[in-house]
Structure 1
Amino acid sequence: MFARILVGYDGSECSQRALDVAVKMVEENRASVITVAHVYHLPSMVLSQGYAIPESFVKEFDEQAKAMTSEALTRIAHLPESHAVTLNGTPYQAILEYADENGSDLIIIGSRGLGGFREMMLGSVSHRIVQHAKIPVMVVK
């Protein structure tokens, strides 16, 4: 079975269902540990223009990320050794790097997140994770 499950979480309905699936897997096999990863990404449009990012803008992103992580933590609080992390970067890359660096053996993600127009234009996070992951990936609808 899987010992270290990484769940990509953005608060969307699909990511909530992905977390529910992970929780059920852990409850059925107490040896598993869940890490919930919320990734926030400062818009590249802001960064590529060479402008300084206002501190208030960064603070708002940070607060939203902490709220999302806190939300996930309340959903897994009853599970021993499970935790949540906040990552900064391109979502699919951050999730894959975290999985690789921390010995995850399964990634569970929702089929659709909160990506909107950006996701449509660049390809979905879930698709990129499936294409580039070195470990099994479960995509939840």
Structure 2
Amino acid sequence: MPTWPACLQRRFENGLVQSVEQQGYISSNKRISDMKILATTDGSKHGKWAIEWLAEMPFAVQPVVRVLHIIDLASVRAPFMIQPAIVGTGRYIQSEVKRMEAAAKSTKKESEGLLSTLGLSGTVTTDQGAVAATIMKHAQRGVGLLSIGSRGLDALDRFMLGSISNHAIHHAPCSVLVVKESPRPVRHLVLAIDGSSASDKAVKFLIRNVNPTPDGLDREPVVVTVIHAVPYFKYPEVKEAGKALLQRYGAKLSKSGFQIREVLRLGKPADEILTVAKQEKADLIVTGAKGLGAIRRVLLGSVSTRVVQHAHCGVLVVR
């Protein structure tokens, strides 16, 4: 790997890059309005969607958004470069770094304009480093929600989830919103529950941070379809326990003002969640993360991972 000249390194330390220690993140585990929302962008349409979706989410209180654009110097490679010492590669690399610097400035300006247009309160920051690691560094500074775009369109991207968003849902210390499509008003949610503490956290997140009547008290409230899927109904007790679980979660959400639909399905949980979300034309799927032990962090409960990979709409993974 080529060694970066000090002059190139300083370009990103003088004005363009702002260290995470200077960001002023605050720590809180209360409402989303008391925390920071971190939205990542690379200047693509998917990056813009990660910002625009925050304006369409029916938050109880308008959030404060920090938009993050990352410059990954280590990603620069000269075409067909086998040895860093090959004559001419240094010139190419310097040219590419200049291009990345110009693109970063353009993205920063465009993102600032987007925040203003959307009426969102926040700032735009540019940082340098490996993309996934740098996102995690910023997310650890009191961030309550990470919004990230996914290019999950073709078979390979659905599997890899663009690698960056895949890394985020497995390793972020906060809740993660994976955006997959252009923004639209979020008025119908599908909430996947299984009775675990992860499901409890997902319900608590909605009650604390989502306004059930964003269009006014005289209009229809936000609809939450609560789904519990089990692989078999061999014993009547299983079905009855499932119904009781749905009623318990549904009652909490209904008391908070949401319009509730309860769905008990037989089959593989991830497949049933995806099917119901498509049938209901859901705007967003909400699921809890079971990221506790090492194995669970990798699998993310397996159900959540599959839902994020294959959902037609955005997915909110709550921690």
TM-score (normalised: structure 1): 0.76
Task: Give the structure 2 partner of residue 126 of structure 1.
Answer: 304
- Structure 1 position 101 matched with structure 2 position 286: no
Tell me the SS of whatever aligns to 1:96: helix
Q: Distance between the aligned counterparts of 2:318 and 2:283, measured in 1?
A: 17
Matches within 5 A, 1:26-65: 26-27=211-212, 29=214, 31-42=221-232, 57-65=234-242
Q: Contact 1:111/1:126 (CA < 8 Å) preserved in 2?
A: yes
Q: Contact 2:222/2:258 (CA < 8 Å) preserved in 1?
A: no
Instruction: Measure how far apart 1:64 and its partner are.
Output: 1.3
Q: Which runs of 5+ in 1 are unaligned?
A: 43-52
Q: Distance between the aligned counterparts of 1:84 and 1:131, measured in 2?
A: 24
Q: Are residues 80 and 7 of structure 1, via their aligned partners in 2, closer, same or farther at CA, if it must alter by over 3 Å?
A: closer
Instruction: Measure how far apart 1:33 and its partner are.
Output: 1.4
1:67 counterpart letter in structure 2: A
TM-score (normalised: structure 2): 0.35
2:261 counterpart letter in structure 1: H
Q: Are residues 8 and 80 of structure 1, via their aligned partners in 2, closer, same or farther at CA, if it must alter by over 3 Å?
A: closer
Write out per-residue CA displacement over residues 106-134 of structure 1, whole angstroms, 9 at most, x where no aligned residue.
Answer: 00100129xxx9xx98x610000011111
Q: Which runs of 5+ in 2 are unaligned?
A: 1-55, 57-185, 216-220
Q: Contact 2:212/2:258 (CA < 8 Å) preserved in 1?
A: no
Write out per-residue CA displacement over residues 82-141 of structure 1, whole angstroms, 9 at most, x where no aligned residue.
Answer: 22221111000000000001110100100129xxx9xx98x6100000111110001011
Instruction: Measure how far apart 1:80 and its partner are.
Output: 4.5
**Deviation larger for 73-82 or 93-102:** 73-82
**Deviation larger for 14-23 or 3-12:** 14-23
Write out per-residue CA displacement over residues 35-54 of structure 1, whole angstroms, 9 at most, x where no aligned residue.
Answer: 11111112xxxxxxxxxx8x
Q: Contact 1:109/1:126 (CA < 8 Å) preserved in 2?
A: yes
Tell me the SS of whatever aligns to 2:264: strand
Residue 9 (structure 1) aligned to one of 183, 193, 214: 193
Instruction: Measure how far apart 1:17 and its partner are.
Output: 1.0
- What is the CA RMSD across the aligned residues, in angstroms? 2.4
Q: Contact 2:191/2:224 (CA < 8 Å) preserved in 1?
A: yes
In the comparison of the two structures, how many residue pairs are matched?
122
Task: Give the structure 1 partner of residue 251 of structure 2.
Answer: 74
**Deviation larger for 94-103 or 30-39:** 30-39
Tell me the SS of whatever aligns to 1:27: coil
